[in-house]
Structure formats: C-alpha cells, structure tokens
Structure 1
Amino acid sequence: MPPHKTTTLLIEDSGFMRIILSDLLKSDPSIELLGTASNGLKGLEKIRQLRPDVIITDMVMPESDGLAVVKNVMQNNPKPVILLSSLEKEDPKVFEALLAGAFDFLNKEEVTKLAKQQQFPLNEMVKVAAGVSLGKLAGARGEKNTFEHSFDEQLRYEAIAIGASTGGPVAIEQLLNGLPANLNIPVIIAQHMPEQFLRSFAKRLDRVIPLRVKLAQQGEEPEGGTVYVLPGHKNSHVILDSHTNRPIFSFTRKKYREFNFPSIDGLFMSLAEVYGKKLIGIVLTGMGRDGTKGLQAIQQQRGFTIAQDEKSSVVFGMPKSAIDHKVINQVLALKEIPGFVVSCLA
C-alpha cells in the first residue's frame, strides 16, 4: 500500500508565483498538489470540490483575499491554511487571519530564495500543518485584564521573557491580555517572524492589550510596565547586553545552534545573565527546539521556567523539547499562564 500523501491546494493570483510554488510542492514526494486557483473565489470553489488536507493562499488577491478565504474555510470546512505574503506589502490583515484560524504564514520571496539553497520551509510547514488539531486553530484573544493588581514594592521577579514560533502571535496576544494593566516589570518577547511583520505585530499588540508595547531599540534599557518585541534583523540577533553600566538591548552576530531570527536561545541566555534568579522564562507553541538552551541557562541561574502544554499548543515542538530536556519548572495550559505568572510575582 503506497504511503499517504498530504494533499494541498494553492491559491495565488500571480501566474509566475503559481508555477514556482507548484514546482516546489511537487518536488516533495510526500505532498500531492491537487490544483491551483488564481483568486480567493475560485480557490473556495476548488476547496469544496477537491477537499485538500492543507490550503496555501496568498494574502493580497482580487475577488476575495486571504483573510476572506480563512474565515470561509474555518466556518464551512475547517482545514489548516498557510498564508503567503510579500514583505514589501506588510499586510496587517495577516494577524486577523491568524486569529481567524490560519495555521501560520510565510514570505513568498524568502520561500523561493531558500529553495535555491535546498531548504524548503513551505513543504515542511505543509507536513506539520496536516497533523495539527483543527480545534486549536481558531484563536481566542482572551479577556483583557484591566484589574490593577496590588503588587508588593519588592517583587520576587524583575522580568518576564517569552519565546514563540508557529501559533505564537495568537498565543502571545492571549497571554498578554491576561496580565494586569499595572504590571511594573518588563516583558520581553522573541517571536519567530520576519522583521517587517514584527513591526506590525508590535503595533497591533499596542492597540489591543492594556500594556504599552513597542519594538526593542538598540541601546534602550528595558523599563517596567512595557512589553518589548524583538526585531528580527537577518544575520543579527537582539540580546540584553550586561557588559555596560546598565543593561541595554544590543545586536550580536553570534551564531546559535537553532538558526532562527530572532533567537529565543540568545535572548533567554542574555537575560539569565542580567536578571539571574529574578527572571521568568516562558516557551510557547512552535516548531523546532529554539528556547531549550536558553531555558537551561535560566534554570542554572535559579530563575523560573514555564512551558505551554501540548493540549493548548498549535505545535508542541519547542515546549516538548524543553520539557524533554528537563529545563521546565511548570507546564500549563495557555489560559492558565497569566494568572500563574502574577501569583509568582507576589
């Protein structure tokens, strides 16, 4: 009996990109491309006819865009949807599509560039998406916590670090919404995402959660009550530099084993040096193992580490790696993490 192939449908308005992406998908013997469509309306019709395992759709298209496709699919025929977007377009609808249930998104130009180097992120994402539980895809923003918590003058912890990848934007928004509006320590986030989209992500979070959110800037010292999203500069990572008279965000070209931008390991290890036992490190949903080494460094400094549990993770890769390496103090469902973190601070 031949092995099961993951079936896909590609929706892309550019004929040139349809050819390139189709060839990439067909190059993998474990993936079957059932068909293509040139816009969202035609794509939805083919989804009904062909019933693919995974749908790949461009975000910006005439006659029903990627967001409309995701909403229609999740309402009528739930399937994992991978979004494709061009960095220069920086479409803010990407985040609405993720909240509506899209699995993840990729930059089209980066996909084709990496293929020339024999790296195939789209094909790998298709295979991971095919195995995801559909019930985990429709994200909940979480209730805003506008309650002003009574914090002691001297807290047990001085900073919170969060690392996430696939499924992270929705999980981060839900987690941050659950933190009190008067939280008086910094929250520093490394989310695997292209640089331009991280700017949009920070702006979006600043609009929708009670805390102030901004992109971390080189030379800036973290302040209490502010959420910092690390920029995703290619070929350099953002860390907290402790070799100055005050800890500041700084860029480094240091290479980390898990090749992601921004590096969760790099951030966590640098924060462990600065904050020691006064740091909480949290790893959320995502593919791969980034964050495990960093959480180990936090534990060695006697900080506290938390992993999102399998049931609430879109992809359990990063939390599972950290749990398997025994560098986690507490495993929690996503909705339980904000309250637990607040209880740790008192």
Structure 2
Amino acid sequence: MAYKVLVVDDSTFFRRRVAEILDQEPGLEVVGQARNGKEALTLTEQLDPDVITMDVEMPIMDGITAVGKIMAQSPRPIIMFSSLTHEGAQATLDALDAGALDFLPKKFEDIAQDRKEAVTLLRQKVKSLARKRHFMPSRPRASLRQRPLTPTARPDTTRPTPSGESQRRQPLRASGKSYKVLAIGASTGGPVALQQILSNLPANFPYPVLLVQHMPGTFTKAFAERLDGLCKIRVKEAAQGDVLKPGHAYLAPGGTQMLMEGNPQQCSIKIIQEATISGVTYKPSVDLSFASLGRIFGGDVLAIVLTGMGADGREGCRSLKQKGATIWAQDEKTSVVYGMPQAVASAGLSSKDLPIDQVVEHVLAEMKVSG
C-alpha cells in the first residue's frame, strides 16, 4: 500500500510540480493539495496523510503555524520547503522547533547538481519520513525553545514502575578511557537531536565539541546562533583558524569541509572552501571530519553518529575505531531516519546504540564530567 502525501504550497505551479514527482514514485500517492495552512489543517483531518510537504510562507495561515497546529492535534511527519536565505533559515528552524522533521530548498537547483538527482532525493526523503508515521508521539513534545531538563536536575530514578514496584536505575559505568574531544555527526532529524544534546551539556564541560550537520551554508550560521542562545556551552559556526577550546562547540559550515590541523595540545580548524573532493558526496562530510580528528587525537575521541539518511560517518568512524576511539550511534526508535547510525552499527563500529534522551547522561559518565 502506498504512503499518502499531502502537498501544501500557495503556488499552483509548485504544488503540481511536487505532486507529479511524488506520484511517479512507487509507494507514494499524493492524496491532496492545499493552498495554505488553513486548508492543510482541514485536509489533514479529512485525508489522514502519512507525510506532508509544507511551504513556509503562505497567506491566511503560514507553514510554521500550520505545523504547530498539526503536531498538536495529530502528529505526523512534515517536511518543509524553504528559501536558502538567512530569513529562510530562521523560519525553517522555527518550523523544526514546531515539530517538522526535515527541510529541503525550494529551488531544485539548490538541492543537487542536476534535476534527476534532486528528484531522487526528494522522493527518498518523503518516503523515509513517511515510514516514521507510526513512530510519531501521540501528543506533541515540548518546544525545544524551552530549555530541556539539565543533567543536574534529572528526574527521580526511583519512580514507581507500572507494576507499583520501585526500581533504581543502575549507575552508568565509564570505560576508563581518556578523551580530548567529543565529535557528533548528523543529517535528517539532526537539528532537533543536536539541540537536545547540546542544551543539556553543563557550562563546565571540559572538552571541545565538533559538530557536522548536513545543512546549507546559510542555515549553519543561523543554527549555530540559535544553539548558542539555548546552550550553557558556547556554540559557533566554525571558521578558519579557530583553536579548539574546552566548553566550546564548532559547527561545520555548510557547503565546505571542516578538517583539523596541528597537534593535541594546539589543534585548530581548517575550512576547505573548494569542497568538491573525489568520492565525497556531502558538504560537510562526517567521514572527512572524523578521519581528520583521528589523525590529530588518535583514540582520544568519543564520536557519536545521530539520525540521518545515507551512510556518511561510517568510514570516518572506522578510521577512528582503528585508532582506539569510542564510537556510539543513535538507536533506531528515536532516529528520524535510521540510515547513518544503522550504517555504523551494522559495521560493528558502535559500542552503544542509544536513545537520544540518554545520550547526554552517557557522555557525562563516560567522559567523567559532573553536572
């Protein structure tokens, strides 16, 4: 049975274009089209689509408002179409905060180098998100603009179980390894996952954090600024020559590659602007950044691969693992798309496969950080 898709956009031409592309994909069926957010609410109730594509700027009711209402009433996967501008980035991040799971540039030439590749990516993303329908929460999650629960104020682990018995959670045990850096790679679903992790790290986190998120360049700057306003540690878009500092997170700029140079005592960031490298698809690439970290820090790296489509990160993790680094992956249930973490887990590289809401406590225990 085909997944049902609702296409929402105020442009008749764009609605038809997206509908034709998706209808030609086996396993997908466009069951309705809406001109604005208000119509989208009505058709969502009537047609019960498995996934919705949503424009940001529309008359009567904009996409961000519509996403919030849909996720409050009947949560389901939503993918946003947005412009590659700073304003478009801010609006898209607002939509992700409201509950959307992913986004794509509205101009197909910004999605990929040729139309065929862009069409394939659109179909893959819609189909991947549609599969997530049955894993959506029955009620909306709290807005990620609200500061999540910090590690120093975790809930009581002696809370009664459904059977009425009290059960204390077993204390986490560190492996005993030493570390010099935390590295995290992500793609589809990554902005929300990264925000959940980073906003829970304490201000005294004694290691630098390297972040590689598949995202356009105009988006990474806006995303880093938003994270910096939400987190206790400092977060910035990485720049050429940045020297790694404890308690600072560096987000790889979109459309470039972020590498490391120097030595463990004085490591700095190298940004390659001409980011087309043979055999490398993503800009930025988790594989390249992780492998570069290994050349500087050897096994003193804790690397985590989060939700995302594809397999970027697997070879970088393999390189790190060979040097003795610790590799973890997000579990399938909490991943928006279980592609990148599955690639790492299936290759036997990850020693832990964790739900997103347990990542921070495991990081703090493993890296011996008090909250």
Q: Which amino acid letter does the alignment assign opposite residue 270 of structure 2?
A: S
Q: Hey, what does 1:238 align to over in structure 2?
A: 258
**Distance in 1 (alpha carbons) for counterparts of 2:219 and 2:140:** 21
Bigger mean CA deviation after superposition, 135-144 or 27-36: 135-144
Q: Are the aligned partners of 1:181 and 1:211 in contact in 2 as well (CA < 8 Å)?
A: yes
**Distance in 2 (alpha carbons) for counterparts of 1:202 and 1:69:** 25
Structure 2 vs 1, CA of residues 284 and 69 (structure 1 numbering), >3 Å: closer, same or farther? same
Q: Hey, what does 2:121 align to over in structure 1?
A: 121
**Distance in 1 (alpha carbons) for counterparts of 2:265 and 2:247:** 22
- 1:198 and 2:204 are equivalent in the alignment: no
Q: Hey, what does 2:7 align to over in structure 1?
A: 10
Structure 2 vs 1, CA of residues 111 and 34 (structure 1 numbering), >3 Å: closer, same or farther? farther
Q: Tell me the CA shift for residue 243 of structure 1.
A: 8.4
TM-score by length of 2: 0.83
Report the secondary structure of 1:35's partner residue: strand
**Distance in 2 (alpha carbons) for counterparts of 1:292 and 1:241:** 22
Structure 2 vs 1, CA of residues 263 and 321 (structure 1 numbering), >3 Å: closer, same or farther? same
Structure 2 vs 1, CA of residues 47 and 314 (structure 1 numbering), >3 Å: closer, same or farther? same
**Distance in 2 (alpha carbons) for counterparts of 1:121 and 1:325:** 24
Aligned ranges 1:165-180 → 2 under 5 Å: 165-180=187-202
Deviations 1:260-317 (A, max 9, x none): 2210111100011111121110111111111111111111111111111222222221
Q: Which runs of 5+ in 2 are unaligned?
A: 154-176
Structure 2 vs 1, CA of residues 319 and 49 (structure 1 numbering), >3 Å: closer, same or farther? same
- 1:57 and 2:57 are equivalent in the alignment: no
Q: Hey, what does 2:96 align to over in structure 1?
A: 98
**Distance in 1 (alpha carbons) for counterparts of 2:91 and 2:117:** 30
Q: Which runs of 5+ in 1 are unaligned?
A: 148-154
Q: Hey, what does 1:130 align to over in structure 2?
A: 130
Structure 2 vs 1, CA of residues 220 and 130 (structure 1 numbering), >3 Å: closer, same or farther? same
Count of residues in correspondence between the two structures? 334
Q: Tell me the CA shift for residue 256 of structure 1.
A: 6.2
Q: Are the aligned partners of 2:6 and 2:31 in contact in 1 as well (CA < 8 Å)?
A: yes
Structure 2 vs 1, CA of residues 118 and 330 (structure 1 numbering), >3 Å: closer, same or farther? closer
Q: Which amino acid letter does the alignment assign opposite residue 107 of structure 2?
A: E
**Distance in 2 (alpha carbons) for counterparts of 1:33 and 1:59:** 19
Q: Are the aligned partners of 2:287 and 2:312 in contact in 1 as well (CA < 8 Å)?
A: yes
Q: Hey, what does 1:150 align to over in structure 2?
A: none
Structure 2 vs 1, CA of residues 261 and 330 (structure 1 numbering), >3 Å: closer, same or farther? same
- 1:71 and 2:44 are equivalent in the alignment: no
Q: Hey, what does 2:149 align to over in structure 1?
A: 143
Which residue of 232, 237, 247 maps to 2:267? 247
Q: Tell me the CA shift for residue 177 of structure 1.
A: 2.0
TM-score by length of 1: 0.89
Q: Hey, what does 2:305 align to over in structure 1?
A: 283
**Distance in 2 (alpha carbons) for counterparts of 1:126 and 1:12:** 16
Report the secondary structure of 1:92's partner residue: helix
Aligned ranges 1:266-305 → 2 under 5 Å: 266-305=288-327
- 1:259 and 2:265 are equivalent in the alignment: no
**Distance in 2 (alpha carbons) for counterparts of 1:230 and 1:294:** 15
Structure 2 vs 1, CA of residues 162 and 302 (structure 1 numbering), >3 Å: closer, same or farther? same
Structure 2 vs 1, CA of residues 65 and 186 (structure 1 numbering), >3 Å: closer, same or farther? same
**Distance in 2 (alpha carbons) for counterparts of 1:266 and 1:137:** 38
**Distance in 2 (alpha carbons) for counterparts of 1:110 and 1:220:** 33
Bigger mean CA deviation after superposition, 336-345 or 160-169: 336-345
Q: Are the aligned partners of 1:102 and 1:137 in contact in 2 as well (CA < 8 Å)?
A: no
Bigger mean CA deviation after superposition, 185-194 or 218-227: 218-227
Report the secondary structure of 1:90's partner residue: helix
Q: Tell me the CA shift for residue 58 of structure 1.
A: 0.4
Bigger mean CA deviation after superposition, 113-122 or 302-311: 113-122
Structure 2 vs 1, CA of residues 319 and 29 (structure 1 numbering), >3 Å: closer, same or farther? closer
Q: Hey, what does 1:212 align to over in structure 2?
A: 234
Q: Hey, what does 1:182 align to over in structure 2?
A: 204
Q: Tell me the CA shift for residue 53 of structure 1.
A: 1.6
Q: Are the aligned partners of 2:183 and 2:304 in contact in 1 as well (CA < 8 Å)?
A: yes
Deviations 1:219-274 (A, max 9, x none): 222111111111012xx412113489943222343636451221011110001111
Structure 2 vs 1, CA of residues 118 and 210 (structure 1 numbering), >3 Å: closer, same or farther? closer
Superposed CA RMSD? 2.4
Structure 2 vs 1, CA of residues 345 and 77 (structure 1 numbering), >3 Å: closer, same or farther? closer
Deviations 1:108-166 (A, max 9, x none): 1136764623442221111111111112995554313478xxxxxxx921110000111
Aligned ranges 1:304-315 → 2 under 5 Å: 304-315=326-337
**Distance in 1 (alpha carbons) for counterparts of 2:196 and 2:251:** 15
Report the secondary structure of 1:69's partner residue: helix
Q: Which amino acid letter does the alignment assign opposite residue 56 of structure 1?
A: T
